[in-house]
Amino acid sequence: MRLRINQISVKLDYEKQDVLATIARLLICREEELDRLVLLRKSIDARGKDVPPRFVLSAEVDYLGEATPPLAPGRIDLAAPPVPIPVIPHIAPREHRPIVVGAGPAGLVAALTLAEAGWKPLLIERGADVQVRSDQVEMFWQEGVLNLDSNVLYGEGGAGLFSDGKLTARSKDRGAIHRLFQILVDCGASPDILIDAEPHLGSDVLSRIIPTLRNRIQELGGEVRFGAHLEGLHIEDGALRGVTVSGEEIATDQCFLATGHSARDIYTMLAESGVPLAVKPFAVGVRAEMPQSLLNIAQYGRWAKHPRLRSAGFRLTRKPGQTIRGCYSFCTCPGGLVMSCASSDGLLTTNGMSYSSRAKPFGNAAILVPVGPDDYPVGGPHAALAGVDFQRTMERAAFLAGGGNYGLPAQPLIDFLKGRKPAGISEARSCKRAVPANVASLLPDDVVRTLRSTLPKMLRELNGIRHEDVLLYGVETRSSSPVRILRDPETRQSTGVRGLYPMGEGSGYTGGIVSSALDGMECARRALQSVT
């Protein structure tokens, strides 16, 4: 019989035989009575202060013994049947091919799903392909030269191309998640992402995966155009009839909109076209950077340099109080870099990224405070875009505080907490084009008050991290969309325009690589199902 075994605790330098020996002890059997061991999940248990961290595994194995195994629900169970992986049926192409707008996770996976069904989508992206875009972004980081259509936020791979590449999956659709992860592995990702409890890719690996994924779409009959800008929708009687792309009129009755939450001109175009939008709460704050060596010690203690231990991340959160708001860490990048981001002249935000090795000397994370319509005026002809204007105010102030050349404003935490302007910032930092600035002056008073109250308490959870070890960069404003494009929960189409499928982070319904990719997959599947 095949069994699933959970909570298999093994030492850091374990080998396959150690796993079999541990399972044999649990089942009270001989190792020779076990066969076809397959690891399903791997995490690290570093909770003990005075004991070395251990790996905790889940696995399946064939039990060949004659005795009845000691089943224990949740620990030792009969293996469940394999999770069914969604099958994409082949469907006759429509009169007009579908248009997919945006080559981030949602757009790429939606286009692949449609192409696998034989629909030969046209995927358009305003930015450049990965190779050209990477050179443009490097020029921006080194010299402050901004390309308005191809930058850290626009281009093949989406904003997630320059990120930590975390594959956080909260969806309960395990079949869809497995299909997505298998697509990534087939395109060049390490098979480790199939079992790691906290899988990640890194920007360097993403840069190899994305072109391979694009090639698969093209091999299946899809077309990909770079430097192609969505300029308008043609809507008749509440239904999509076509789109305008870089001056070209293209007839279509299906448009999969995956432009991301930074494509503010698209939000304006949608509002002017009568597409229903709504304001949405989001969060703003700072990006905190600290030495990775101290983070490793804080989590792993004296075993921090063990070769099998990765650079340590962290999750911090504080509940709201009577006079302060909630506060939480977001998008932690162990062994990573803090970077400046821009897609508009004179506006600046910050983000974090890492490479697959996570080997840089500093770790960073956004520290965010929720904000919403109560924090800014909501009115005017496009009331749903009020949050975008709120973001712009902070980003314009950050641009000026950073020297007006896309350098990042930065402030030592100790100065931020004491409310004083920094005299300088340490040369030991990841973002070399940062300049000393009063980061607190760039954020709303309630956000600053919350950060000053909660950051010291949050840092106590990171044993050994002092206030003097932390550098804050401002401002972090684009962790999620401030706008929601309203859509029907069953069809995934816009509530006001049939055939328009808002998806990904720009839709206001997802956040991160995995949820956006799964949303693109599901929107494509709903469209395919609508004609079967």
Radius of gyration of the chain (CA): 25
DSSP 72: B
* pTM attached to this predicted model: 0.95
Q: Report residue 481 as tokens.
A: 């969309």
Paired residues of 246 in beta bridges = none
Task: Select from 146, 99, 94 the least CA-distant residue to 125.
Answer: 99
Cβ-contact 413, 451 below 8 angstroms: no
> Residue 185 has what pLDDT?
97
Going by pLDDT thresholds of 50, 70 and 90, the confidence category of residue 128 is: very high
pLDDT in tens, 217-247: 999 999 999 999 999 999 999 999 999 999 9
3-state secondary structure 158-224: CHHHCCCCECCCCCCCHHHHHHHHHHHHHCCCCHHHHCECCCECCHHHHHHHHHHHHHHHHHCCCEE
Query: pLDDT band at 399, cuts 50/70/90?
Result: very high
**52: helix, strand or coil:** coil
Decide yes or no: CATH 3.50.50.60 for domain 99-279+483-529.
yes
User: Which 3 state secondary structure label does DSSP give 438?
Assistant: coil
Kindly state the average pLDDT of the residues 265-286. 97
Q: In the predicted model, is pLDDT for residue 116 greater than 90?
A: yes
Q: Tens digits of per-residue pLDDT, 454-463?
A: 999 999 999 8
Q: What is the percent of the chain where pLDDT is above 90? A: 92
Q: Which fold has domain 2-78?
A: Alpha-Beta Plaits (3.30.70)
Over pLDDT 70: what percentage of the chain? 100
The answer to whether the CB of 269 falls within 8 A of the CB of 232 is: yes
Beginning with the edge strand found earlier in the chain, give each strand of the sheet holding 239-245 in spatial order.
230-236, 239-245, 248-251
Decide if 34 contacts 25 (C-beta within 8 A). Answer: no
The pLDDT confidence band at residue 398, using thresholds 50, 70 and 90, is very high
| Spans of all domains in the chain | 2-78, 99-279+483-529, 282-378+387-476
Alpha carbons 198 and 166: distance in angstroms, whole number? 8
Q: Tell me what the pLDDT averaged over the chain comes to.
A: 95
Would you list the DSSP string of 388-426? HHHHHHHHHHHHHHTTSSSPEEEEEHHHHHHT---S---
Residue-level pLDDT at 85: 74
Amino acid 343: pLDDT: 96
What's residue 145's pLDDT? 97
Rounded average pLDDT over 328-350: 97
3-state SS, residue 212? helix
* pLDDT level of residue 91 (50, 70, 90 thresholds): confident
Q: What is the pLDDT of residues 324-335, one digit of tens each?
A: 999 999 999 999
Distance CA 321, CA 300 (A): 31
Whole-number pLDDT of residue 406:
97
Task: Return the axis-axis angle of helices 513-529 and 174-186, rounded to nearest 10°.
Answer: 110
Phi and psi at 488, nearest 5°, equal -75, 130
Question: Is 385 exposed, middle or buried, given 0-12, 13-18 or 19+ CB atoms closer than 10 A?
Answer: buried
- Whether 422 and 413 have beta carbons less than 8 Å apart is answered as no
Residue 475: which of 407, 386, 409 has the closest Cα? 409
Cis bond leading into 475, ω under 30°? yes
DSSP track, 95-123:
SS--EEE--SHHHHHHHHHHHHTT---EE
